[in-house]
Amino acid sequence: MPAGQREAPKGFQQLLQQANRLQDVFMAEFREGMTGNELLAKILQTARAKGIPQPKVYSHNLGHLLHEPGPLIGLPWQQERCPGRGDVKLVYDSCFAMELCVTDIVPEWDNQEFRLSVEQDVAFTRQDGCRPLDDRQIRFHLV
Q: Are strands 129-132 and 112-125 parallel, antiparallel or unpaired?
A: antiparallel
In this structure, is residue 141 part of a structural domain?
no
In a domain, 3, yes or no: no
CATH number at residue 35: 3.90.230.10
Domain count across the chain: 1
Q: Is 139 inside any structural domain?
A: no
In a domain, 1, yes or no: no
- 21 in a structural domain: yes
Give residue 2's pLDDT. Answer: 73
Tens digits of per-residue pLDDT, 95-104? 999 999 999 9
**Among 98, 114, 110, 109, which residue's Cα sits nearest to residue 15?**
114
Inside any domain, residue 4: no
Question: Residue 89: inside a domain, yes or no?
Answer: yes
CA 138 to CA 124: how far, in whole Å? 21
Query: Rounded to a whole number, what is the distance in angstroms from the first to the last CA of the chain?
Result: 10
Domain that holds residue 66: 10-132
Q: What is the pLDDT of residue 63?
A: 76
In the three-class reduction of DSSP (H, G, I as helix; E, B as strand; rest coil), residue 121 is classed as strand
Considering only CA atoms, give the Rg of the chain: 16
Does a structural domain hold residue 44? yes
Q: List, for residues 22-80, the tens digit of each pLDDT value.
A: 999 999 999 999 999 999 999 999 999 999 999 999 999 997 666 667 899 999 999 99
